[in-house]
C-alpha cells in the first residue's frame, strides 16, 4: 500500500472532507501509537507501512521502555492532541488503525496487538485478534 492509498482509505473510513484532514489525523494517531510501543515494535510496524505512515510513528528511541497505559488513556491522549470530543477521537483512531491493519500482515499485527493491553484490537478493526 502506498501513501495515496493509505490516506484515501483513512479519508473514506473517517469520512473526512479532504486528504489534508486525513493526513492530520493519521499523523496524530500514529505518533501516539509509536510513543506507546517499544522501539522493536515500532520498527516492525514501520517496515510494513508506506513512508508517510512510517514517518508519523515518530523516531525510534532505543533503550526506551514502552509506557504502560491502557486503551482509555490512549484515546484520551488522542482526543487531547486532536482537540476533539472523545467519541470523535475514537472514530478518528479507528479510521487510522483499521487502515494500518490492512497495510500490514497478520503476523505483524499480532505482534503489535500482543504488546498492547486488552482493548486495542477493536480500534484496529480486529476485535477477535490478540
pLDDT classification of 130: cutoffs 50, 70, 90? low
Q: Rounded to whole angstroms, how far apart are CA atoms 19 and 10?
A: 9
- The reported pLDDT for the residue numbered 92 is 97
Beta-carbon contacts of 77 under 8 Å, excluding residues fewer than 6 positions away, are 32
The pTM of this model reads 0.93
**Residue of 60 and 27 predicted with greater confidence:** 27
For the chain, give the mean pLDDT: 93
pLDDT classification of 35: cutoffs 50, 70, 90? very high
How far, in whole angstroms, is CA 64 from its chain's centroid? 19
Amino acid at each position: 500500500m502506498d501513501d495515496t492509498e493509505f490516506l484515501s482509505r483513512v479519508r473514506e473510513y473517517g469520512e473526512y472532507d479532504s486528504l489534508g484532514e486525513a493526513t492530520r489525523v493519521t499523523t496524530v494517531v500514529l505518533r501516539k501509537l509509536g510513543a506507546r510501543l517499544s522501539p522493536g515494535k515500532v520498527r516492525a510496524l514501520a517496515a510494513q507501512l508506506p513512508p508517510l505512515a512510517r514517518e508519523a510513528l515518530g523516531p525510534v528511541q532505543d533503550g526506551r521502555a514502552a509506557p504502560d497505559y491502557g486503551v482509555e488513556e490512549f484515546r484520551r491522549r488522542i482526543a487531547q492532541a486532536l482537540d476533539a470530543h472523545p467519541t470523535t477521537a475514537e472514530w478518528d483512531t479507528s479510521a487510522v488503525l483499521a487502515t494500518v491493519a490492512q497495510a500490514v500482515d497478520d503476523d505483524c499485527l499480532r505482534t503489535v496487538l500482543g504488546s498492547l493491553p486488552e482493548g486495542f484490537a477493536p480500534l484496529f478493526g480486529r476485535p477477535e485478534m490478540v
